[in-house]
Amino acid sequence: MLVIHAHWRPPRRTNETGSIFFWAESSDKEEPFYFKGRLPKRQPPKEHLFALTADELREKISGGTPLAKASTEMAKLRLPSTRTGPVPSPELAHHWNLDTTTPLFLAPWLVEGLELSSETAFVVLVSLPLRGPNNAYVLGADALYWRKAANLVMEILAAQKVVPVLECQNGGTNEQYLAQWEAVLDGEDDGTRLARLAAAMPPVCLMELLHPNGRYNAAPMHTPRGLLESFVNTMCDVMMRAWGRSVMPAFDTRYDTPFQAWIKALFSSEKIVHASNAQLESLQSSLNAWMRDLQAAGDENFRVAFSLASPTAEIGVTTQGEWTLGFNIQSRHDPSLVMTAEEIWQTMEPALEIGGRRIEFPQERLLAGLGYASRLYPPLMESLQDSQPKQITLSTENAYQFMRQAAPLLKQAGFGIVPPSWWNQKSARLGIRLHLSPKTKSVPKSSEGSLSLSKLVNYRWEMALGETSISRQEFDALVAMRSPLVQVNGQWIQLDKEQIEAANRFFDRPRNSGTMNLLEAAQYGLANNGHQEELPVSDVVADDWVDDWLKDLSHHDRVVTLQQPATMKGTLRPYQVTGYSWLAFFQKWGLGAILADDMGLGKTIQALALLLYQKETGTLDGPVLLVCPTSVVTNWRRESDKFAPTLRTMVHQGPKRLKGKTFTQALTTTNLVLTSYAVARQDAELLQSIEWHAVILDEAQNIKNPNAKQTRVLRQLQSGYRLALTGTPVENRLSELWSIMHFLNPGYLYSRDEFRKRFGMPIERFGDKEATEKLRALVSPFILRRVKTDPNVISDLPEKIEMKEYCTLSEEQAALYEATVRDVMRQVTESEGMARRGLVLKMLMQLKQICNHPLQFEHRIDEALGKHKMISGRSGKLRRLEERLEIILAAGERVLIFTQFASMGHLLNNYLPERMGYSAQFLHGGTPTWQRDEMVRHFQDDPNGPQIFILSLRAGGTGLNLTRASHVIHFDRWWNPAVEDQATDRAFRIGQKNNVQVHKFLAIGTLEERIDEMIESKKGLAEAILGTSEQWLTELSTEELQQLVQLRL
Amino acid sequence: MSEQEKKQPDNQKPSPDLKPAKSSPQSKRSNRGPQRPGGGRKAQGKGRSGPRRVSGGIRLRSTSGQSARNWWAQRWIRSMENVVDVNRLRRGRYYAQQGQVLSIDEDDGQIVAKVQGSRPKPYQVRISLKPFSEEEWANLLKVLSGKAIFSAELLNGHMPNNIEDAFAEAGVSLFPSRTGELLTDCTCPDWANPCKHVAATHYILGDRFDDDPFLIFRLRGYTQEQIINGLRKHRLGVDAVITAADTGAATREEATDTASEDDDEAAMGPLPDVFDDEALHEFWRAPDDLADFPVRIQAPEVQFPIIKRLGEPDAAGRYSLSELLGNTYMAVSQAAQIIAFMGSDLDDEEEDEE
């Protein structure tokens, strides 16, 4: 596994353009050795111990990117180190035993990597995927950081906020004039953003020793702010040249003026402008004068701002009054910090402090701003005849002109505008209101077909001013005032020409009412969207049950709580009752919902409760299809049999599954069909020919890829309603959420492209808050997610939740298992006494090994280490473990994995970090005591410690305190529950603040399951009867033994 | 501005006394008859010979008849036109257009220029104005502080329209109006003063006035800081005692100095050699993961807003920046949007796995 780093190297000389140095840490390198001598703090840098070489890096990540052609470079980086060398960055998953006792110190290391010029690196930086295919690599914090900064550069370039400048640099003896593009960052929140970005720079970015004598870069490049600015300005300059070169202006070569030379140098790779110093000085004098206006409105901290105040309120309708336009200085960081001209003129000091920031010469700043502003808005001129101008007064007409025409100009020039509080507010503007009312007085019954798609709702578009709707007559009366601003009972209203026209179009159009379906109503009602005739939809009001319905939809706690289904075995916890009632609400309305509870909260049971409820109420009028991963089909079967025995369930899996007519026939007596994603894909045609009552997807993240065949197949199933169960509705990308929602409620989140444009891109790439809010409003009603730490849930939960994880043997395992049973049982029948006992014990051991992994049975684990292909895909248990870990690790939780077999522990320790992308450690009988303590400390206290802790049951089962774990996995079973409980208690003991989930892995149909049943049935007596060893098994009769070990699928 | 102040004049000593410009060109013409342009005495009789061609000189920005664009620069040109004869004036403008002025610098309230004539060694031209007395300045600042418009315009690089009225009210004249107020000198052998070299310098100076209206104030003896501070004191009604020491400039410089020192220290010095656990944690990952850092990649509402906002620089001459660079701005803006929104297919899901 790799962590890719990107390191910004600012230009060192004036005519350089900087570069980005890419390097990578790799957990495939050998475990760093422990260094015993004097700490290498200030010695000449040694080679980094686990960085990839340039060639390796090229081979691993360069595919299709310009990195393939990048030059090999070295960098000297100071990194935090211990006696085992540089400390890996937290993203690196490794299974090394590293020194954690030596206090960390900074030491220089030589790192090999690939260097790309800024121009080439820029595109690589913004387009490098966050994770490589199969988690081959992840981007380090520094790469992510520079990627963010590069996004900001793209914003600047897209907004064309760059200015060409001529810069004079005193390079030693002679002056040089350089033509450059510079970013202009004077937008609304630019100052705050830059400050935030600078503060967020990971220190590693500043740790390169650039000079031969081992010192850092020159001073300004050595602060986050300086380094960030160098990046932004250099990249703006480089990309303007790169992307602008194809359209560079052509000149008449007969004239060769310094101005031309400057323009040419703005596009050439050489920044130096060729002309005499006197000429360039003259050019610079002119350009400086030209640029002065950029600063006239303010600087990065403050700006001159104009505040418009409306006349005092009057009763009745009027257009008259005296408006004042006040002059102020406003903080850019916090626009609410405003100092009025009045206050500024009173100050005697040449500098002031506003909001903790110093402003020099506030009076002159105000005057300079006013001087510039008066050229953009001449009415200001009159106030400048005073010695201390503070404000001007405006008529209603002029106030409107100011806001409509002058304000945008002034804003663009960098001034602040503080409009009256009501300006552009809903109350002051014409808007369109959507009025939704039910078609039928009473709430429709769900038996009327798919409610979500029936046109149940009457809608009417209305013209509105704030909260009140207005008729055409009222509107005409307002327009007759012939003023763009009208005061009605103290409330000012804006009547723009365009708005009046749009309103007239609206009133004139023939159809302002009709019917829509519930999903459309939800779309408007939840995120009041869009425009009608270019007027914003400002409000949605609903009547009667539609109103209730919309409220129920968006407030999960409003849903009516149902009784637990009578036919259900066992007792639902209160939050599970809530969950199943919520599902019933969606089922009733034919809407698709996502139950996204944390793992362990019982999604399966809640779904089963829903089906039972339907069966009891007679609304289960067809078969339900449940699709889940292959490994949990049997699990579902068992849970269904256990909790909902009245449901007639059929497993549709394996080569003997029913086909064609026999299948359809069987459906008439079946309530629930359980199948896997793989089978659903294969039997697409058959399944699509059925009219399902419902389709339920378990682990619905399986359809996260909208293009995958199985997603398309499932989308085309016919069903009354749809339900998705998943602990992780979004694993990596928002498109996954779209894919699931599109399965549940097609069209609700628009087309894929539209979704990506509206939400995917703005949110994921650019952190658009508005888009995030809108998406949340649209989607959250359809998702119910409870987490274990939720106080409503926590009180309902036992502190320890035990669950059995039924795993299906792979075909290879099943074959091995059966052959072994056949072979050994034959021998057992023929032997007696000690020999028989020995045989039985050996067989039990072999069968357990087979259930774990064929490699363990074959004693070939050692040769398989590091060879993925030999390990993966051969064990059902391992596959299940990977699925579980994915969820646990993604949630940032820590897990203990117990196994009885040291060899299996080695295998997991070797395989999992690589496969999962998270680090692990393994404690076994051979681990020396000091190292044990170290591991425990690492796991318990180190924020960067491994999330996976593998322990052999014998070595780790007692004595340790591992309360950081919130999951305990028993990969194989110990036949004595007491021993397992003791191990479990490593995590579950005093000091544990989390609930602990215990996962007991069982291979279905094998002796593991059988023994589990025996233990379960004996429960409390187990310990007394079973003792602490497996000896009792050897005393079973051959018949009993055969029953026990026989594979039953 | 500071560039000019920093520059030291060449090792030539400043000429001790500048001669007042004579105000009656007619008398010269009557004495010697009309001079051929370009006329050093040697050139006489051999027909017309221009100045030595030279590269790297400063050219007058506008090549059309009217030079300097702002009224005060034009006014400056006119004040010279009154004292130079027509032919020298024409030759002077020709020199300025051809780039014969090799350098122009400010030196202690004077203008020092080098102009390439017909001789190999460039001539040195000096121009200065008679400075106002302290009393005159005090009166002037008092009048100017009465209306905010004067400060506002000056701070914006503009000479207020009616500033001459304010000068008149204070009893002084901004531009040289009387004999003896404009002092010029040239090392050329031409007997006339102002000669064409002075005239050429004068034209180039007109362009500089365009860039910086405070230049003429400096020639009258006060720096920008002195004026700004003086205006503030008058505005506040504080007794106007103006010294360079109490200008804010000193404080400002100090402030920046300490700031950069701080930066240095944060950067170089106390980066601890030993990190504790927390510092290590922050080493690779800053506390703010910037997940919600807002970036909006979109085209501007109007094309090339910065150029629109600033207008065209004088130096563009016959060119227009928005014409020259407009396409560049648009092409780059588009490229950025494409990279941002289309390029993402790189990390799109792979098709149909398994």
Task: Give me the pLDDT at residue B272, please.
Answer: 37
Which member of A103, A160, A348 has the closest CB to residue B274?
A103
Length of chain B: 354
C-beta atoms of A243 and B332 within 8 A: yes
pLDDT above 70: percentage of residues in chain A: 91
For chain B, the C-alpha Rg in angstroms (whole number) is 28
Rounded Cα–Cα distance for residues A808 and A1048 (Å): 11
- pLDDT surpasses 80 at A15: no
- Confidence (pLDDT) at B280: 62
Contacts of A139 in chain B (CB under 8 A): none
Q: Rounded to a whole number, what is the distance in Å from the CA of A260 to chain B's nearest CA?
A: 9
CB count within 10 Å of CB A36 equals 6
The Cα of B316 is separated from the nearest Cα of chain A by a number of Å equal to 7
The closest CB to that of B275, out of A80, A286, A291, belongs to A80
Distance CA A957, CA A977 (A): 12
pLDDT 10s digits, B301-314: 778 888 888 888 88
Task: State how far the Cα of A66 lies from the Cα of A637, in Å rounded to an integer.
Answer: 52
In angstroms, the CA B339 to CA A360 distance is 41
Contact B340 A158 (CB under 8 A): yes
The three-class DSSP label of residue A669 is: coil
pLDDT at B66 over 60: no
In the predicted model, what is the mean pLDDT of residues B134-151?
A: 91
Between chains, do A222 and B333 touch, taking CB under 8 Å as contact?
Answer: no
How distant is the Cα of A405 from the closest Cα of chain B, in angstroms?
A: 14
Among the residues of A513-556, which ranges form H helices? 518-527, 544-554
Q: Which residues of A156-187 are buried (b: 16+ CB within 10 A; e: fewer)?
A: bbbbbbbbbbbeeeeeeeeebbbbbbbbbbbb
Distance CA B60, CA B50 (A): 18
Per-position b or e across B223-257, b if 16+ CB within 10 A of its CB: bbbbbbbbbbbbbbeeebebeeeebbbeeeeeeee
Of B211, B308, B336, which is closest to A154 when you measure between CB atoms? B336
Q: Does A796 have pLDDT greater than 80?
A: no
Alpha-carbon distance A302 to A311, whole Å?
A: 28
Is A249 in contact with B4 (Cβ distance < 8 A)?
no
Average pLDDT over residues A721-738: 84
What distances in angstroms separate CA A547 from CA A543, A745, A978, one per listed residue? 5, 21, 56
Residue A908: closest CA among A983, A852, A846, A850: A852
For residues A310 and A492, the answer to whether their CB atoms sit within 8 Å is yes
Asked if A240 contacts A181 with a C-beta cutoff of 8 angstroms, the reply is yes
Rounded to whole angstroms, the Cα distance separating A809 from A883 reads: 15
Q: What is the pLDDT of residues A85-106, one digit of tens each?
A: 898 888 887 778 788 777 778 8
Token pair 């499932």 is found at A714
pLDDT of residue B259: 37
Three-state secondary-structure class, residue A227: helix
Q: CA B54, CA B51: separation in Å to the nearest integer?
A: 9
Give yes or no for residue B11 having a pLDDT over 60. Answer: no
Mean pLDDT over all residues of chain A?
Answer: 85
CA distances from A317 to A321, A426, B126 (A): 12, 19, 71
Q: Quick one: pLDDT band at residue A627, thresholds 50, 70, 90?
A: very high
Residue A61 pLDDT > 90: no
Check residue A1027 and report its DSSP letter: T
Q: Parallel, antiparallel, or unpaired: how do β-strands A535-542 and A71-82 relate?
A: unpaired
The beta strands (E) that lie in A563-623 are given as 593-595
The letter for the amino acid at A447 is: S
Tell me what pLDDT residue A187 has. Answer: 76
Report the residue from B3, B263, B330 with minimal CB separation from A168. Answer: B3
Q: Tokens 């004088």 appear where?
A: B314
Instruction: Check whether A1020 has a pLDDT greater than 50.
Output: no
CB contact under 8 A, B56 and A123: no
The answer to whether A768 contacts B294, with C-beta atoms less than 8 Å apart, is yes
Q: How confident is the model at residue B20 (pLDDT cuts 50, 70, 90)?
A: low
- How many other C-beta atoms are found inside a 10 Å radius of the C-beta of residue A385? 11
Strand partners, A722: A695
Question: Taking residues A522-527, what's their average pLDDT?
Answer: 80
Question: Which ipTM was obtained for this model?
Answer: 0.74
**A268 and B191 Cβ atoms separated by less than 8 Å:** no
Q: Please tell me the distance in Å from A597's CA to the nearest CA on chain B.
A: 24
Nearest to A708 among B57, B207, B353 (CB): B353
Which tokens sit at A249?
A: 């202006």
Contact A734, A509 (CB under 8 A): no
Angle at alpha carbon of residue A566, lines to A562 and A571, rounded to 5° = 80
CB contact under 8 A, A133 and B316: no
Closest partner residue to A296 (CB to CB) among B156, B235, B316 is B156
Query: In angstroms, what separates the C-alpha of B61 from chain A's closest C-alpha?
Result: 9
Which residues are paired to A488 by β-bridges? A317, A491
| Percent with pLDDT over 90 in chain A | 31
**Do A105 and B208 make contact, defined as CB atoms within 8 angstroms?**
no
In this structure, the strands spanning A485-488 and A416-418 are unpaired
A173-187, A488-502, A763-777, B219-233, range with the lowest pLDDT: A763-777
* Best CA proximity match to A831, nearest among A839, A841, A842, A823: A839
Q: Which residue in A has a C-alpha nearest to residue B103's C-alpha?
A: A278
Task: Enumerate domains of chain A plus CATH numbers.
Answer: 2-243 (no CATH), 302-418 (no CATH), 426-554 (no CATH), 572-794 (3.40.50.10810), 802-1045 (3.40.50.300)
Whether B267 sits inside 8 A of A223 (CB atoms) is yes
Query: Which residues in chain B have Cβ-Cβ distances shorter than 8 Å to A753?
Result: none
User: B147 and A384: CB-CB below 8 Å?
Assistant: yes
Question: In this structure, how many other beta carbons lie within 10 angstroms of the beta carbon of residue B179?
Answer: 12
pLDDT reported for residue B124? 94
SS3 content of chain B, % helix, strand, coil (to 5): 45, 10, 45
Q: Are A499 and A516 in contact (CB under 8 A)?
A: no
Q: What is the pLDDT of residue A918?
A: 84
Q: Are A788 and A996 in contact (CB under 8 A)?
A: no
Contact A161 B204 (CB under 8 A): no
Comparing A407-416, A499-508, A653-662, A951-960, the range with the smallest average pLDDT is A951-960
pLDDT in tens, B177-222: 776 788 889 998 888 778 889 999 988 988 888 888 889 899 999 9
Cis status of the peptide bond prior to B194, with omega within 30 of 0: yes
Provide, as residue numbers in chain B, all residues whose Cβ is less than 8 Å from the Cβ of A202.
282-286
Contact between residue A34 and residue A28 where contact means Cβ atoms under 8 Å apart: no
Task: Choose among A106, A201, A293: nearest Cβ to B273.
Answer: A106
Q: Is B5 a residue whose pLDDT tops 60?
A: no
Rg of chain A on CA atoms, in Å: 36
**Closest approach of chain B CAs to the CA of A448, in angstroms?**
38
CA distance A964 to A942: 10
**Would the CB atoms of B300 and A160 count as touching at under 8 Å?**
yes
CA distance A937 to chain B (A): 13
* Residue B266 pLDDT greater than 50, yes or no: no
Q: Can you give B180-229 as a three-state secondary structure string?
A: CCEEEEECCCCCCCCCHHHHHHHHHHHHHHHHCCHHHHHHCCCCHHHHHH
Distance between CA atoms of residues A252 and A465, nearest Å: 60
**Largest Cα span, chain A:** 119
Which of A72-76, A303-307, A470-474, B274-278 is the least confident region? B274-278
The CA-atom distances, in angstroms, between B112 and each of A276, A798, B6, B55, B91 are: 17, 91, 13, 19, 20
Question: Which pair of structure tokens corresponds to residue A759?
Answer: 């939400």
d(CA A821, CA A842): 11
Map residue A621 onto helix, strand or coil.
coil
Selecting from B156, B314, B330 the residue whose C-beta is nearest the C-beta of A292 gives B156
Find where tokens 């033994």 sit. A1041
* Residue, of A36 and A367, whose pLDDT is higher: A367
| Contacts with A706 from chain B: Cβ below 8 Å | 349
If we measure between CA atoms, which residue out of B345, B298, B339, B299 comes closest to residue A119?
B339
Given the structure tokens 């705050």, which residue do they identify? A192
**Residues A77-84: what's their mean pLDDT?**
86
In A, which residues are within 8 Å of B353 by CB distance? 705, 708
For residue A157, list chain B residues with Cβ-Cβ distance below 8 A. 332-333, 335-336
Q: Among A369, A769, A285, which residue's Cα sits nearest to residue B206?
A: A285
**Residue A88 backbone phi and psi in degrees, to 5:** -65, 150
What pLDDT band is residue A211 in, cutting at 50, 70 and 90? low
- Average pLDDT, integer, range A857-877: 88
CA distance A970 to A377: 76
Q: Is residue B56 pLDDT above 60, yes or no?
A: yes
pTM above 0.80, yes or no: no
| pLDDT at residue number B263 | 36
> A110 CB contacts (<8 Å, ≥6 apart)?
A45, A46, A47, A48, A74, A75, A76
**Where does the pLDDT of residue A241 fall: very low under 50, low under 70, confident under 90, or very high at 90 and above?**
very high
Chain A partners of B228 at a C-beta cutoff of 8 Å? 361, 364
* Inter-chain touch A283–B295, beta carbons under 8 Å: no
Size of interface A-B (CB pairs under 8 A): 364
Which residues are A950's β-sheet partners?
A897, A922
- pLDDT at position B14 over 60: no
Mean of per-residue pLDDT scores for chain B: 72
What does the DSSP assignment read for B247-314? SHHHHHHHHHHHHHHHHHHHHHS---SEE-HHHHHHHHS-S---TT--------SSSSHHHHHH---G
Provide, rounded to the nearest whole percent, the portion of chain B with pLDDT above 70.
Answer: 67
What is the distance in angstroms between the Cα of A78 and the nearest Cα belonging to chain B? 10
Q: What is the pLDDT of residue B265?
A: 31
Residue B38's pLDDT is what? 41
Q: What is the pLDDT of residues A191-210, one digit of tens each?
A: 788 888 988 888 888 888 76
Provide the 8-state DSSP code for A207: -
Burial B303-325 (b: 16+ CB within 10 A, else e): ebbbbebbeebbbbbebebbebb
A705: chain B residues, CB-CB within 8 Å: 349-350, 352-353
> At A433, is the pLDDT very low, low, confident or very high (cuts 50, 70, 90)?
confident
Sequence-ordered strand ranges (E) for A772-846: 783-784, 800-807
Using pLDDT thresholds of 50, 70 and 90, give the confidence band for residue A665. very high
